């Protein structure tokens, strides 16, 4: 069982922050009865699933891997949790992540790092590193992650699993602790495309509790997995293959293009001119929203409060100084700066305009292509300890994933090979808004 794998490996991998063994066994028995009497009809009823620790479960600690939420126990379920329970999935625990989902390695967690199951000296990626490592290690079958700038697609690539970032508004954000509200989406992580498609069917759907939730009627994803992609048009931004891309990742990427052609698809290169603006626009917008969203952690409403202080302002200051980690503080400072009067026009507004230009380029591309192809990351999983030495270099590693969030597009990562160190490489397929069907069909035909 998954709990045997957890007991065997998780002292090393550390994918989980919390597990619910007894409850899960009890629930599994209940669900089994429910399957027999027809209460549960989902093909995923009874399947174990792990939840990233920024998604609220009623009565369970939800820490976002931050000290400031060390004892926070929400009194309600996220919408996705209600949907999983209704479908009969068995929730087995909470997974590790970068603090408040800010990071690319799962090393900014206040509760220790997660290791890559393929090679314990390497990171699993991030910020949903715990969810992806858990699937890769056989410590769960399915997991939920969240993706603000690549946090599902990049760790899926590093861990050799499959992960989807849905179109913005497809999965309710109710009960997801907000990082950058205009970019955040919850999505599935699993061992292959059909598992992820089945899970996405369960969690997707309109929710009145999330004002950005969309009413969609095209959510039957599993029936799209026909294997037929004859005549499908794939576009590859040629700038994505320029300098900075690891040669082994590039070789593996080119191999995918050949396979797609063999399957009867058309593959064409085109040019994206806004590439150099993607990272700056993303980090300005994401940090601005984060600085505003994280205002609520003030020592009054949630878990942690500094032990000693003099007066209210000193309490805020000491609580936030001790409660937040370095990376989170960096984002709050950057975000507050770009939103402050005098700099707002120069940075934040300019970033919003840049985002509109990036969106325009992607819109044009989808006038010509069904699916765009990109690496998930310029390199395979870095060694533990390397990335945090240079945060700016770490941000640049998000070059292939952030535009998808800025434009609200759906993206999927599927494994496409290994490098010479045996570390997994993933390919990313990007669709136009609401075109999950196309990327799922393509990814399934390829895998
Ligand atoms: N690495 C990116 C960041 O730190 C993306 C994180 C995410 O998608 N949550 O902002």
User: Model confidence over 37-69: pLDDT tens digits?
Assistant: 999 999 999 999 999 999 999 999 999 999 999
The edge-to-edge listing of strands for the beta sheet with 185-190 is 16-19, 90-95, 48-52, 142-147, 185-190, 162-165, 411-418, 424-431, 371-375, 233-237, 266-270
What whole-number distance in Å separates Cα of residue 110 and Cα of residue 265?
Answer: 46
Q: How many CA atoms lie within 13 A of 40 on its CB side?
A: 25
Residue whose CA is at the smallest distance from ligand 1 atom 10:
102
| pLDDT tens for the 447 residues of the chain, in order | 999 999 999 999 999 999 999 999 999 999 999 999 999 999 999 999 999 999 999 999 999 999 999 999 999 999 999 999 999 999 999 999 999 999 999 999 999 999 999 999 999 999 999 999 999 999 999 999 999 999 999 999 999 999 999 999 999 999 999 999 999 999 999 999 999 999 999 999 999 999 999 999 999 999 999 999 999 999 999 999 988 999 999 999 999 999 999 999 999 999 999 999 999 999 999 999 999 999 999 999 887 999 999 999 999 999 999 999 999 999 999 999 999 999 999 999 999 999 999 999 999 999 999 999 999 999 999 999 999 999 999 999 999 999 999 999 999 999 999 999 999 999 999 999 999 999 999 999 999
CB 398 less than 6 A from any atom of ligand 1? yes
Is residue 93 within 8 Å of residue 25, measured between CB atoms? no
Query: Which atom of ligand 1 lies at the shortest distance from residue 148's CA?
Result: 8
Burial of 81 (0-12, 13-18, 19+ CB in 10 A): buried
What whole-number distance in Å separates Cα of residue 157 and Cα of residue 46?
Answer: 27
Tokens of residue 320, six digits? 């936030």
Radius of gyration of the chain (CA): 21
pLDDT score for 37? 96
pLDDT score for 438? 98
Cα of 21 from ligand 1 centre, angstroms: 30
What whole-number distance in Å separates Cα of residue 12 and Cα of residue 41?
Answer: 36
What whole-number distance in Å separates Cα of residue 15 and Cα of residue 204?
Answer: 25
What whole-number distance in Å separates Cα of residue 81 and Cα of residue 447?
Answer: 29
Query: Which atom of ligand 1 lies at the shortest distance from residue 405's CA?
Result: 8
pLDDT score for 303? 77
Helices and strands counted in the chain (H then E) = 14, 11
The DSSP 8-state label assigned to residue 61 in this structure reads -
Does 377 participate in catalysis according to the annotation? Answer: no
What whole-number distance in Å separates Cα of residue 270 and Cα of residue 153?
Answer: 23
Residue whose CA is at the smallest distance from ligand 1 atom 5:
149
Tokens of residue 58, six digits? 């009623």
Does 151 participate in catalysis according to the annotation? Answer: yes
Is residue 319 within 8 Å of residue 68, measured between CB atoms? yes
What whole-number distance in Å separates Cα of residue 133 and Cα of residue 135?
Answer: 5
Mutate to test the pocket of ligand 1, among 98, 291, 403 (most ligand atoms within 8 A of CB): 98
What whole-number distance in Å separates Cα of residue 400 and Cα of residue 402?
Answer: 6
Q: In the chain, what are the domains? A: 2-224 (3.90.1300.10)
Cα of 63 from ligand 1 centre, angstroms: 17
Residue spans of beta strands (DSSP E) within 148-228:
162-165, 185-190
CB 104 less than 6 A from any atom of ligand 1? yes
CB 147 less than 6 A from any atom of ligand 1? yes
Mutate to test the pocket of ligand 1, among 125, 126, 293 (most ligand atoms within 8 A of CB): 126
- What pTM was estimated for this model as a whole? 0.98
Cα of 282 from ligand 1 centre, angstroms: 9
CB 68 less than 6 A from any atom of ligand 1? no
Compute the Cα dihedral for 413, 415, 420, 422 and give only its sign: positive
Per-residue model confidence as pLDDT tens digits over 102-148:
999 999 999 999 999 999 999 999 999 999 999 999 999 999 999 99
What whole-number distance in Å separates Cα of residue 438 and Cα of residue 430?
Answer: 9
Does 127 participate in catalysis according to the annotation? Answer: yes
Of 407, 377, 378, 434, the residue nearest 150 (C-alpha): 377
Alpha-helix residue ranges (DSSP H) falling in 324-408: 326-339, 350-368, 391-396, 402-406
Query: Which atom of ligand 1 lies at the shortest distance from residue 327's CA?
Result: 4
């Amino acid at each position: 069982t998954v709990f045997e794998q957890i007991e065997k490996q998780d002292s090393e991998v550390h994918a989980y922050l919390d597990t619910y063994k007894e409850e899960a066994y009890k629930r599994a028995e209940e669900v089994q009865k429910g399957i027999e009497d027809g209460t549960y009809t989902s093909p995923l009823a009874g399947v174990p699933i792990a939840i990233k620790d920024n998604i609220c479960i009623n009565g369970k600690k939800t820490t976002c891997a931050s000290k400031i939420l060390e004892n926070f126990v929400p009194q309600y379920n996220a919408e996705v949790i209600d949907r999983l329970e209704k479908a009969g999935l068995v929730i087995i625990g909470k997974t590790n992540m970068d603090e408040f989902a800010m990071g690319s390695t799962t090393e900014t967690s206040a509760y220790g790092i997660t290791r890559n199951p393929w090679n314990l000296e390497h990171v699993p990626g991030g910020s949903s590193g715990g969810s992806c490592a858990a699937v890769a290690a056989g410590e769960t079958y399915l997991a939920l992650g969240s993706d603000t700038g690549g946090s599902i697609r990049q760790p899926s690539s590093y861990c050799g699993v499959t992960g989807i970032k849905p179109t913005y508004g497809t999965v309710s954000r109710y009960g997801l602790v907000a990082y950058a509200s205009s970019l955040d989406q919850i999505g599935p992580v699993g061992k292959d495309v059909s598992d992820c498609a089945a899970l996405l069917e369960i969690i997707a759907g309109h929710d009145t509790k999330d004002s950005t939730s969309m009413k969609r009627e095209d959510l039957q994803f599993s029936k799209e997995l026909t294997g037929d992609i004859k005549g499908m048009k794939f576009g590859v931004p040629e700038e994505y293959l320029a300098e900075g891309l690891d040669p082994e990742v590039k070789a593996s990427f080119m191999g995918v293009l050949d396979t797609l052609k063999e399957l009867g698809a058309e593959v064409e290169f085109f040019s994206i001119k806004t590439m150099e603006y993607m990272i700056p626009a993303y980090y300005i917008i994401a940090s601005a929203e984060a600085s505003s969203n994280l205002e609520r952690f003030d020592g009054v409403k949630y878990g942690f409060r500094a032990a000693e202080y003099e007066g209210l302002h000193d309490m805020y200051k000491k609580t936030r100084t001790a409660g937040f980690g370095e990376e989170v503080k960096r984002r709050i400072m950057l975000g507050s700066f770009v939103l402050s009067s005098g700099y707002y026009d120069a940075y934040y507004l300019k970033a919003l305009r840049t985002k509109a230009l990036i969106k325009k380029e992607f819109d044009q591309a989808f006038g010509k292509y069904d699916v765009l192809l990109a690496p998930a990351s310029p390199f395979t999983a870095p060694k533990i300890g390397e990335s945090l030495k240079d945060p700016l270099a770490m941000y640049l590693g998000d070059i292939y994933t952030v535009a998808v969030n800025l434009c609200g597009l759906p993206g999927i990562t599927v494994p496409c090979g290994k490098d010479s160190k045996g570390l997994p490489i993933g390919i990313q397929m990007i669709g136009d808004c609401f075109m999950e069907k196309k990327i799922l069909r393509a990814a399934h035909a390829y895998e």
